[in-house]
A and B are shown apart, each in its own frame.
Chain A
């Protein structure tokens, strides 16, 4: 019997530090997946961490890892040429085919921008399927901004708006200092024909969703990503349960009306 807990070794092609605590790995792995799905990266002796796909490319995969503890620190110490152990893909990603013809709105906070980058790349590969995209990304400080090398390209192709919680200073992509929620509040957005992808810390989601509903968005236009503690990623360990649902297999991506009002 196939052991679903077993990892596949993949070769690390490159490694880029995006910010002082966040690193992107590009690995030689051609695996079919939907944006929003994730893998489990294993460091023997340290443990495993669920990490989202942050790319969408038939030739390779990218993972963006923020160092917050033991396992993520050990992952960040891997080097190009070496091996990364992954299992997956897991979960239900975004059903991109259902969004054909729509204009997409991405709202991301901090690390939450990483999985959104995967959707953006999917859109870039299927440009004719979508009207366009607006990107609203919020970071704590200038140092925390992810994927700086892509900002020019994103700005030329989409509407890009980066917010910085404090001390923004001079920055060519940014608006005045403040939270991403402020930017959404003041933005003129017509909900018609739009699909919204939200990914970020719980507080960002909790504050942004009411603003969008106020602007006339319907609940079924909003897609949220639910981060939970995960061990098995296959509906067995119980850690990720959101009442009757499993974030690892029914999610991590949910249409807002599927999990709204859940108090756990």
Chain B
């Protein structure tokens, strides 16, 4: 593949021009490639900082997504690690105000959002966005809080040329190309795979890639056997992992597609007629998650809760949306308190008798 030259000037030529409609039509299926020289990447990120907020992974004790506020800090952006916490937090914060409570009444709090650009997002976490969209943007009850953030957000992915570590198994999941832009490392330059008008607006000035090329999906040595889990629903299949699970909820907290929430009213202690109604990320591993009045708890045992999480990820969601809810990011295994590996269990122990 050949790389054509392009000046930083033409790259930035579109600054100041309004971004394409945030409801940009999707160009899924349509292939558009641009070429970005490596020395143009920093100016691109800096241009994004001028258009809105820039968020990127940075390695400190571990890799974390954070805001990159100054032009110099762009140098700190990480290109090699797997973020501890997924960028889901920019669409579904751990805690989010739904309404303000004033004089005992609910007031809608519609926040005007600036554009946010989230860069160097891995394929697993890019796929998580489409999975969340299915729920939060369902046609009957679209969620306006999520919609606002989603519309204000541009995702620029970084393709994994090598697996990041031995926990990644996205290579065995049905990944889709859902992003605005994806950077694919060609050595001296990046191939920029453009999938939305929002993405195109940022790279219009770059030269088109000459060759017909699609960045390959990541490959991983760890693979999940795609067998359906319904035949393995009975308790005995889950008993082994369940004995190890301590119910700490790290897995659900770190998963890029876990979406469950609780609604809590938080009152101002000095003035009990005001405060806020919050949406707080919740976990199906939490013991009270399914308790109802009268005390009955529908998933009272930890085994039921563990099974529910894995069944939801790999079976229930697929039954509903025809795609797996797990993107193979590996976090729930990488960071499990008890080193439980559901992929290993399913591959090796869930076998037809």
Contact = CB atoms under 8 A, between A and B. Distances in A.
Interface residues of A, number: 37
Nearest to A238: B260
A43 B108 CA distance: 15
Contacts of A228: 290, 292, 298
Given A2-B144, A243-B316, A264-B304, A236 B136 contact: yes
Contacts of B320: 244
Contacts of A44: 99, 101, 104-106, 265, 277
Contacts of B49: none
B104 A45 contact: yes
Interface string A164-184: 000000000000000000000
A7 B296 CA distance: 28
B272 interface: yes
A2 B259 CA distance: 21
Interface in B131-161: 135-136, 138, 140-144, 147
B336 interface: no
A7 B259 CA distance: 23
A87 to B, nearest CB: 10
A34 interface: no
A32 to B, nearest CB: 16
B131 to A, nearest CB: 13
A24 B297 CA distance: 26
A215 interface: no
Contacts of A202: 296
B147 A201 contact: no
Contact of B144 (A3, A68, A227): A3
Main secondary structure of the interface of B (DSSP, over half): mixed
Nearest to B101: A44
A236 B265 contact: no
Contact of B263 (A4, A48, A68): A48
B135 A7 contact: no
B262 interface: yes
B130 to A, nearest CB: 16
Interface string B233-255: 10000000000000000000000
B283 to A, nearest CB: 9
Question: What is the interface residue range for chain B against chain A?
Answer: 35 or more
A85 B315 CA distance: 37
A235 interface: yes
A210 to B, nearest CB: 19
Contacts of A235: 135, 138, 141
Given A4-B143, A264-B299, A239 B260 contact: yes
Contact of B292 (A45, A229, A241, A264): A229
Contacts of B316: 241, 243-244
B98 A5 contact: yes
A48 B135 CA distance: 21
B185 interface: no
B319 A244 contact: yes
A216 interface: no
A201 B143 CA distance: 32
A208 interface: no
B106 A85 contact: yes
Interface of A: 1-7, 42, 44-48, 66, 68-69, 72, 85, 201-202, 227-229, 231-232, 234-239, 241-244, 263-264
7 contacts: A44-B265, A48-B263, A234-B138, A234-B141, A238-B261, A238-B282, A239-B289
